[in-house]
């Protein structure tokens, strides 16, 4: 049985394997890497567009209002006289957008 499997055509085997490998890489790029890059760019643009007074949600689920913006951080007011300094990367774009959407419906 093993000798039958080993008697395959060696001429086209290498080329077909290379084509198959390239096809897998292209599909992987189109369906996994490219959408992730687009999502990261959109989140970065969202975080850069936030200004003082905007209501946000952190990735930890803390709701607050931005009271100060610096290069890398936000100072958010969670409650009266309760302020937290968080990194810009800690703001959840999806949760904040859903907060804005639900707030505008009320």
Q: Is residue 6 situated within a structural domain?
A: no
Give the rounded distance of the alpha carbon of 56 from its chain centre. Answer: 17
Instruction: Tell whether 17 and 37 lie within a shared domain.
Output: yes
Residue 26 has pLDDT above 90, yes or no: yes
Residue 4 has pLDDT above 60, yes or no: no
Instruction: Tell whether 39 and 83 lie within a shared domain.
Output: no
- For 42-57, the three-class secondary structure string (H helix, E strand, C coil) is HHHHHHHHCCCCCEEE
User: Looking at the 3D structure of the chain, how many domains does it have?
Assistant: 2
The confidence score (pLDDT) of residue 69 equals 94
Instruction: Tell whether 59 and 69 lie within a shared domain.
Output: yes
With contact defined as beta carbons under 8 Å apart, do 66 and 74 qualify? yes
Q: Is residue 8 situated within a structural domain?
A: no
The Cα 67–Cα 53 span in angstroms is: 6
**Domain membership of residue 65 as a residue range:** 51-106
The confidence score (pLDDT) of residue 12 equals 56
The confidence score (pLDDT) of residue 102 equals 74
Q: How many CB atoms lie within 10 A of CB 25?
A: 11
Both structure tokens of 96:
């904040």
Instruction: Tell whether 35 and 68 lie within a shared domain.
Output: no
pLDDT digits (tens, 9 = 90+) for 40-83: 999 999 999 999 999 999 999 999 999 999 999 999 999 999 99
Residue 81 backbone phi and psi in degrees, to 5: 60, 20
Phi-psi region of 48 (alpha: psi -120 to 50; beta: other; left: phi over 0): alpha
The overall average pLDDT reported for the chain is 85
Closest by alpha carbon to 85, among 96, 93, 76?
76
Instruction: Tell whether 22 and 43 lie within a shared domain.
Output: yes
Q: Looking at per-residue confidence, does 102 or 70 come out higher?
A: 70
Instruction: Tell whether 20 and 44 lie within a shared domain.
Output: yes
The confidence score (pLDDT) of residue 6 equals 54
pTM of the model: 0.66
Instruction: Tell whether 61 and 101 lie within a shared domain.
Output: yes
Locus of tokens 């959408």: 35
């Amino acid at each position: 049985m093993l000798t039958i499997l080993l008697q395959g055509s060696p001429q086209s085997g290498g080329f077909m394997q290379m084509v198959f490998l390239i096809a897998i890489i292209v599909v992987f790029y189109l369906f996994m890497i490219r959408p992730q890059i687009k999502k990261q760019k959109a989140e970065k643009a969202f975080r850069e567009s936030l200004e003082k007074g905007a209501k946000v949600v952190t990735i930890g689920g803390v709701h607050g209002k931005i009271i100060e913006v610096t290069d890398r951080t936000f100072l958010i007011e969670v409650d009266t006289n309760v302020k937290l300094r968080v990194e810009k990367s800690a703001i959840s774009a999806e949760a904040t957008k859903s907060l804005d959407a639900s707030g505008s419906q009320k």
